[in-house]
Chain A
Amino acid sequence: MRYFTEDHEWIEVDGQIGTVGISDYAQSQLGDIVFVDVPADGRQLAKGDEAAVVESVKAASDVYSPVSGAVLEGNPALSDSPDLVNSDAEGEGWFFRITLSDEAELDSLMDEAAYEAFVAKL
């Protein structure tokens, strides 16, 4: 099951494990991505914490964690190929994986249809 935030992060949840990235809409707004700073393994994140930094040619943006939990790993491919976020934001361009500490937090997020409707109004 995949959820989205109003800040344009997505999280794909499989059991206790979530994979987090930014939406295709977000990457299109950022433009050419040249650097991604992903969180360290084991870092404890609360929902809404600044978890990662994504830099385009023009600007730096913080990426917030959509849920609370412990970081399992950052995406190692992004250090050499940050452009994966442009080419496949909701797939190969994922940012980090996290062990959820409170699955109830997912209830406040949008599903894919709700997120599409949200973006359509922007």
Chain B
Amino acid sequence: MTDPQTELNVEDAPEGVEEPQILPLDAWHRARGGRMVPFAGYLMPVQYEGIMAEHLWTRESAGLFDVSHMGQLVFTHDGDIATVVRALESVLPGDVAGLGDGRMRYSLLLNEEGGILDDLMVTRRGSEIYMVVNGATKYDDIGHLLDALPDDVTMNLQDEQALLAVQGPKAVDALARLVPGVEALVFMTAGAFDWNGHALWISRSGYTGEDGFEVSIPAEAAAAFADALCAEPEVKPIGLGARDSLRLEAGLPLYGHDLDPETTPVMADLGFALSKRRREAADFAGAQRILAEREAGPAVKRVGLLVTGRQPVREGASVVAEDGAVIGRVTSGGFAPTLGAAIAMAYVPAELAAPGSGVRLVQRGKVHEATVAAMPFVPHRYVRASASPQTPSKAGA
């Protein structure tokens, strides 16, 4: 049998980083049976008790994810938020100026050709902007931002902060017991909280499609906070393996796989990240190409696929025409524990992008049939401002 370890080592190390780095919770993961693998230049837990069990636990209860490899950036300008906002809007296509205090949005770092350099979350926090970027790309992002932003805007990488995500329908119950008040946040809002004298920045957001929170915490307090969370009956630690299968079911793209500098927001079906005011002003990097593509429709588009049969079709498989010509590619794929089926994301020609279209995939010489499916594959259960919290039984009905 080929060594499964070599295939579990999904390495996305940024260039120039040789040895995997150690994160603040390294010993904590090992003590809890985490199987550590290199990922994004860090050693991280791929699983504890098993990917399937961890995935299903997160969907029905709550999971704790260590995402401290991600880059937490803070942008300031002498307490002058308007200058910071103006600077960031030159590199992001989102409406940053329109963010109220404690409000956040999903955005994209674009190059001049409209290609995606990273996807990220941007939050207005008083007189500063807080941004969370991907771990594998954070140093490239910093280089790009240093070039693109005016010198008088200060950028601080908060590498003394850990980042923990608590995700799942019962995340709010567990976290609110430790940090009263978080239950008042709604999806895509954030605020400052305190836990045992440690300053926390908590947002109601995540990468699983479930309700949940992301907690920025000083690294020295992270292990005690993780212990306290996992002492709550709803919460278990969850590894990278389930994080990937959860986000795939939620239809959320993964940078470096489903998004890269060759893809645009329109190809990636992320048009919602192009705010109306910014489209009308056409003043962001790559705007000319992106707006033309938005008008004409993209040649290829990111879609979800339901694969016939149980065998997973993974990243790297080809989408082929009837004559065998390669017309697209699978960028993520695997077994969906919630659905008990094989699912994937792929770029396909626009004429095949409508839900219900049949497509043919080839992986290791074997043909698989698939059907384009609307995403998310598993419905999102975010707690929005206008809606009361849903119980799992209601959401599944």
Contacts and interface: CB of A to CB of B under 8 A. Distances in A.
Interface of A: 7-9, 22, 26, 29-32, 34-35, 37, 53-64, 82
B4 interface: yes
Interface of B: 1-5, 7-8, 46-47, 50-53, 55, 241, 244-245, 310-312, 314, 334-335, 337, 342, 364
Given A32-B51, A37-B311, A57 B245 contact: yes
Contacts of A62: 1-2
A38 to B, nearest CB: 12
Give the most central of B4, B314, B342, B364: most A CB within 10 Å: B4
5 contacts: A29-B4, A31-B52, A57-B337, A61-B2, A61-B3
Contacts of A30: 4
A24 to B, nearest CB: 12
Nearest to B55: A57
B7 A57 contact: no
B314 A60 contact: yes
Contacts of A29: 4-5
A33 B245 CA distance: 14
A32 B56 CA distance: 12
Contact of B335 (A57, A63, A64): A57
Give the most central of A7, A8, A9, A34: most B CB within 10 Å: A34
Nearest to A82: B310
B379 to A, nearest CB: 21
A61 B5 CA distance: 10
A57 B338 CA distance: 12
A65 B245 CA distance: 31
